[in-house]
Structure 1
Amino acid sequence: MNAAAGPTLVYVYAVTPPAPVLEGVLAHLTGVSGSPVTLLAPSGEGSAPVAFVVSDVPYADWAEDMLKHRFEDLRWLEETARAHHLVIETLAAHITVLPLRMATLYQDRTRALQALQLQGQEFATQLARLSAHTEYGVKIYVRPAAEPDPAAAPAPATPGKAYLQARRAHHHAREDHYRQAQSAADRIAGIAQDHAAQYVRHAPQSGPLAAQADGENVLNYAFLVPDARAEAFQAALHEVAEALPGIRLEVTGPWAPYSFATASATPPVPPGSPMA
Structure 2
Amino acid sequence: MSSTVEVAADRPAPAAAAWLHGVVRDAEPATLAAIVGMDGAPVRAVSAAGLVAVVSTAPLNEYGEQPLRRNLEDLAWLERAARAHHAVVEALARRGPVVPARLATVHTNDDRVAGSLTARRAELVATLDRLTGRGEWGVKGYLVPGAATASAEAAGAGGVGTAYLRRRRAQLTAREERQQVASAAADAVHAALCELAVAGRRHAPQDRRLSGASTPMVLNGAYLVDLAELSRFTELVGSLSGRHAGLHLELTGPWPAYSFVAERPEPALTVQEQR
TM-score normalized with structure 2 length? 0.81
**2-structure distance, mates of 1:145, 1:176:** 8
**2-structure distance, mates of 1:100, 1:12:** 6
Q: Does 1:35 find its partner at 2:36?
A: no
Aligned letter for 2:96? Answer: I
SS at match of 2:57: strand
Q: Which runs of 4+ in 1 moved over 6 A?
A: none
What residue is the counterpart of 2:187 in the other structure?
185
What residue is the counterpart of 2:114 in the other structure?
113
State the 1:204 CA deviation.
1.9
State the 1:57 CA deviation.
1.6
Can you list the C-alpha shifts for 1:10-64, whole angstroms capped at 9, x where unaligned? 1110000114xx332211111112132011112xxxx3x3110012121211110
**1-structure distance, mates of 2:164, 2:244:** 28
TM-score normalized with structure 1 length? 0.80
Q: Is the 8 A contact 1:196 1:225 kept in 2?
A: yes
SS at match of 2:104: strand
State the 1:169 CA deviation.
5.0
What residue is the counterpart of 1:138 in the other structure?
139
What residue is the counterpart of 1:256 in the other structure?
256
Please list every run of 5 or more consecutive structure 2 residues that lacks an aligned counterpart in the other structure. 1-13, 266-275
Please list every run of 5 or more consecutive structure 1 residues that lacks an aligned counterpart in the other structure. 1-5, 266-276
Identity of aligned residues (%): 35
Larger mean Cα displacement after TM superposition, 79-88 or 199-208: 199-208
Q: Is the 8 A contact 1:146 1:170 kept in 2?
A: no
Q: Is the 8 A contact 1:145 1:170 kept in 2?
A: no
Equivalence map 1:235-274=2 (5 Å): 235-263=235-263
**2-structure distance, mates of 1:72, 1:56:** 22
Q: Root-mean-square deviation (CA), in Å?
A: 2.4
State the 1:156 CA deviation.
6.0
Within the candidate set 21, 25, 29, 1:13 is matched to 21
Q: Is the 8 A contact 1:97 1:256 kept in 2?
A: yes
Can you list the C-alpha shifts for 1:179-199, whole angstroms capped at 9, x where unaligned? 143134214302321x21111
Q: Does 1:226 find its partner at 2:239?
A: no
**1-structure distance, mates of 2:165, 2:145:** 19
Q: Point out which structure has higher relative CO (alpha carbons under 8 A, 6+ apart).
A: 2
Larger mean Cα displacement after TM superposition, 184-193 or 73-82: 184-193
Number of aligned pairs? Answer: 249
